[in-house]
Amino acid sequence: MEKLLIQGGTPLQGRVGISGAKNSAVALIPAAILADGPVVIENLPHIQDVEIYVNLLKDMGASVLFEDDWMEIDARPIHKTFMPNGKVKKLRASYYLWGALLGKFGEAQIGLPGGCDLGPRPVDLHIKGFEALGATVENCKGVMIVRAKKLRGARIYLDLVSVGATINIMLAAVRAEGITTIENAAREPEIVDVATLLNNMGARISGAGTDVIRIQGVDILRGCRHTIIPDRIEAGTYMIAAAATGGDVVVENVIAKHMEPVSAKLRELGVEIIEGDDAIRIIGKKEYKAVDVKTSPYPGFPTDLQQPMTTLLTLAEGTSIVTDNIYSSRFRHSDELRRMGAAIKIEGRSAVVEGVTPLTGAKAMASDLRAGAALVIAGLIAKGNTEVEGLEHIDRGYENLVQKLSNLGAKVERVTLGEAEQ
């Protein structure tokens, strides 16, 4: 077991390069199953979720070569569409195997997914989409059995905006007969990224990035080469960390447009933000004013940055209300922040943050991926030393976190439990 040791109080300074998007990577890798030839994906982050996915594909028989930041996937040797448990439970995005295997083989038997515990995370919209395309879906003791003799295009309205359901339906529909339209589709940049890969393979998808996506089914999808977009959540995490420490950081390899919801909110607090073509400079200040944050689907403020943002708001003068409209109970980090000195009350699906409350170093446990990011930022601003445990969550989504923070001047190291006490 490992933990992070953080000595707080150093303003972050310098430049940090952003890796490829986790939430794209975990959809693009299964999307490669649909191709009848090798797919090369570039700018892949080295994170646990990607490693797990590679192993899943290899277990199914695919040939996968993962070198530096690129991967070649040849899914033609896949001979297994049955994976009830084990690795599929280690990540949320294993649900994309339903859509990809259904689209390619007309069958998938894959266990229900795991991932961060953020409260209820149903998959009814995925099921609704598959059924509309003509599949039968059965939940057999936690294993989803999805089958179709023939998939036919359909008009599908999503009752809620869902990233996962939108992508899963696209994966199943690209080889269906006829036209599928997804209405009230999610508009996240990762959806555009997946549609771009699929179109490079020969799919005919239009409208990705809007709330109506149209998919004209095709018979054959070929291999191709694709570069993943930058991770807007990783970028946002460094932007918030830079602001929180009163630092001056250039976040490189970003798409500034994707960062607008975050940049706008940081400006409202009083952070200075200078946008370049593919870089954003964040100049932190000594004082911030309280703001309200409401998460919503893209282009709203991302729920995945709500937790790191809450840490920053402990430094803002006044009362900030953070409302998570996507996940009602994504507030488990607030107990840990309170132990470090924050004044946070949870009221329904909102966290009420009173600032300014100087934080003091403590032992803290990351309960999920972005809670981990929130606690690391807390450690960076706290007086004294902070120990963050639960690194298995952080490793799922942040490439080279310690290295990147150290390059920015942070005093952070990763130690094996027990080593620190010696």
Contact residues for ligand UD1 (CB under 6 A)?
23, 26, 92-93, 121-126, 160, 162-165, 186, 303-304, 326-327
317 within 8 A of 290, measured Cβ to Cβ: yes
Asked if residue 354 lies in contact with residue 394, where contact means CB atoms within 8 angstroms, the answer is no
**Closer residue to ligand UD1 (CB): 191 or 291:** 191
Q: Tell me the three-class secondary structure of the chain, residue by residue.
A: CEEEEEECCCCCEEEEECCECHHHHHHHHHHHHHCCCCEEEECCCCCHHHHHHHHHHHHHCCEEEEECCEEEEECCCCCCCEECCHHHHHCHHHHHHHHHHHHHHCEEEEECCCCCCCCCCCCHHHHHHHHHCCCEEEEECCEEEEECCCCECCEEECCCCCHHHHHHHHHHHCCCECEEEEECCCCCHHHHHHHHHHHHHCCEEECECECEEEEECCCCCCCCEEECCECHHHHHHHHHHHHHCCCEEEEECCCHHHHHHHHHHHHHHCCEEEECCCEEEEECCCCEECCCEEECCCCCECHHHHHHHHHHHCCEEEEEEEEECCCCCCCCHHHHHHHCCCEEEEECCEEEEEECCCCECCEEECCCHHHHHHHHHHHHHCECEEEEECHHHHHCCCCCHHHHHHHCCCEEEEEECCCCCC
| Residue closer to ligand UD1, measured from CB, 6 or 161 | 161
Smallest gap from residue 399 Cβ to ligand UD1 (A): 16
CB of 338 to ligand UD1, least distance (A): 23
Identity of the residue, 31 or 326, whose beta carbon is nearer to ligand UD1 in the bound complex:
326
- Least separation in angstroms between CB 121 and ligand UD1: 5
Report in angstroms how near the CB of residue 216 gets to ligand UD1 at its nearest: 24
Q: Could you give the strand order of the β-sheet that contains 63-67, starting from the edge strand earlier in sequence?
A: 63-67, 70-74, 39-42, 225-227
Q: Least distance to ligand UD1 from the beta carbon of 205, Å?
A: 18
Residue 188 φ then ψ, to 5°: -60, 145
Cβ proximity to ligand UD1: between 28 and 71 the closer is 28
Helices 22-31 and 96-105, packing angle to 10 deg: 20
Active site residue 116: yes
Min CB(160)–ligand UD1 separation in Å: 4
Nearest distance from C-beta of residue 125 to ligand UD1, angstroms: 3
Of the residues 34, 116, 146, 412, only one is catalytic, namely 116
Select 126 or 258, whichever has its Cβ closest to ligand UD1: 126
- Nearer Cβ to ligand UD1 (145/218): 145
Closer of 50 and 326 to ligand UD1 (Cβ) = 326
Q: Which residue is nearest to ligand UD1 (CB)?
A: 164
The residues assigned a catalytic role are 116
